[in-house]
Structure 1
Amino acid sequence: MITVRRPLWHEPRPADAPPVGRRDWLLVGVFAVAVAVESIVRPGLAWRPLVAVLGLALVPALLWRRGRPLVAALIGWSVAGLLSILQLTTHGGDLGLYSMMAILILLYSLVRWGSGREIVAGTVFVAVVVTLGMYASSAGGADIFGGSVLVLLIVALAAVFRYRADLWQRQRREIRNQERVALARELHDIVAHHVSAIAVQAQAGRVVAGVQPEKAVEVLATIEAEASRTLTEMRSMVRVLREEEAVAYSPQRGVADLPALARADTELNIQVSLGDSLTRLARPVDAALYRLAQEALTNAVRHARNATHIGIDVRQAGAVVRLRVTDDGRIEPGPVPEPGFGLLGMAERTQLLGGSLTAGPGSEGGWVVEAVLPVRART
């Protein structure tokens, strides 16, 4: 797939900016305490009350740094510029606080969360303030070089994290599209099966219409029921099939094929348990359960450490059907790893059908993948 990158000026803000949370309030609290303590105990600091007030003006900027990155950067770096101007005009000595280095966080947030226009405007303003600050402090060559490198490193770090997040979002969208294509193919085949059945019943109706009119009525009722099911499943079809790809009219595998799927792997003990009331599943749901179990089984075989047993259990409870795939592999201590693309694809498939999926360590060890789907596909 060819991706066309838009110019920086037209780059929108990232859509995944997190809201203000507990860590942000903790950062603000630590910063406020640091400003207050430093403005009191630091020797040789001129204009202490004013410097403290200007330092505390960064508190709202730190909270706004993701939601309004340009405003936050302008506030923070304007404070730094104002202190440089005061130092130049009053010759009042040292007016800087070490805690004011927090404005680098605002620069990072500007590049990480801002739009292209905000990044261009904000970085130009930051460059002016940095130049003014170096001039006001009569910085030497080494200080100018070090400060410039530090600012450029902050910008580069933010750009790298922005690019990585954008790449991750693109990969997730690609997985979503692939799952929609696969599901649309399955639904297309299902509708083709229904239409074929309707055609056969219509042909039979024509044959018996003149001889047994009562049989023709039964055939028409069958055609009506089959057409209703077809329309219901067509409403849930995902219309993302690529026109150049041929459609294979082959029977779709479902829950009844899971025992054969388990026998395909002879190295592990794979046990399949199916409920007794699984005959009323919609065909898209039936096919999705098979695909989900197949993907979960593949993940367990590949990634479960020292696993000897894998269980696949499908049970229907009222209007939902539950798939549970477990293994007895060894779980490494530490945080739960981020979901891979296989799990993301499984989650997307369940969401398309109106269901949900969870995956993580089991209470008794091993890994558990559980999907809950409606018996009738979402229309």
Structure 2
Amino acid sequence: MGLYAGRMSDAIGTLAVVPAVTAAGAVAAAAAVAAAGRPDRAVWPARLAVAAGAVSLAATAGYVVAPPDYGEAAGWAGIGECAALLVLLVAATRWAPRRSAVAAVVVAGLAVAVCVLRFLPSDSLLDAVGACALWAGGPAVAVVIGGYPRLAEARRRGSVARERRSQRLALARDLHDFVAHDISGIVALAQAAKFVAGTDPARALDALDRVEAAGLRALDTMDRTVAMLGDLAGPPGAAPGLADLPELLHRFGGHVESSLAAPDGVPVEIGATAYRLVQEALTNVHRHAPAATAVRVVVSRTPGRELAVTVTNDAPAPGTATPGNGTGLADLRHRAHLLGGTLRAGPHDHGWRVAAVLPLDRP
């Protein structure tokens, strides 16, 4: 049959020319669509592969039903046709939508696999099956060549999506922690203003001014965080650090003793974590230890190039044993662990202590 049947004719007819020209034209059309930058350019290799594969299958069926007297030229045309179909398969597997790519693999891959039947000298079914299985290796290789970078890109996109989700969850937790601090302060100041309003209006007005300032800070924090959550343009503001602790303590109230050290060369993430720790501890005092009469905040450098942060209060209220239902301290403990440090919270003397040690030299 054909190339291997021993015929001496060099004729090449319709069943050889049409599928070869169709496959070559499909490759040229796919390249032209890609060069033109059309929005639907990704799907065209699959569409053209299906069309060229269908023509090829029809030609193979014609060979099998009524073998023509074609010669060597028809064999070379068939090889060129298969090569063009494999190029379309690579492009379809790489860029086409999933359903279109699957259709292209089925039709064009089958066309390449059975194309060998045009030139098979044997009429044995076993020989035909073996030859088709061998030629199916070409489409399999094409699918691997096109599919591997597609799979790698899908994995990369999945990784980026997971990282973005993780960052957004972290920002959401930050929003909760920062705003919770301001809201707790607002509640405490409002209670104080209500208590002294009848006897000392001046102090009540001062407390209301501080309530207004805390509310504006909370709104500003929410605006910045929502902007970051929405991936809006513009760089986010710098995270507060050790230099911002005095203002934080001033906002908390007048019964705070502090010993703050701001050693040079503190990494940004260490300073931000220390600030967050103090903020969360003071917020928990507002929430769960309103009876505390003294709060002490100590930030110092240890001999082993570590930053030690300690917040203690003297209120043995039952609520201090379980500081809130949120995840503030748990998140900070995880963050400290990632930085190579430790964070502990628990009863201390007759009150409660939150203590962290953060390395200034990252491991």
Give the TM-score taking structure 1 as reference length: 0.45
Find the structure with the greater CA-based Rg. Answer: 2
Give the TM-score taking structure 2 as reference length: 0.47
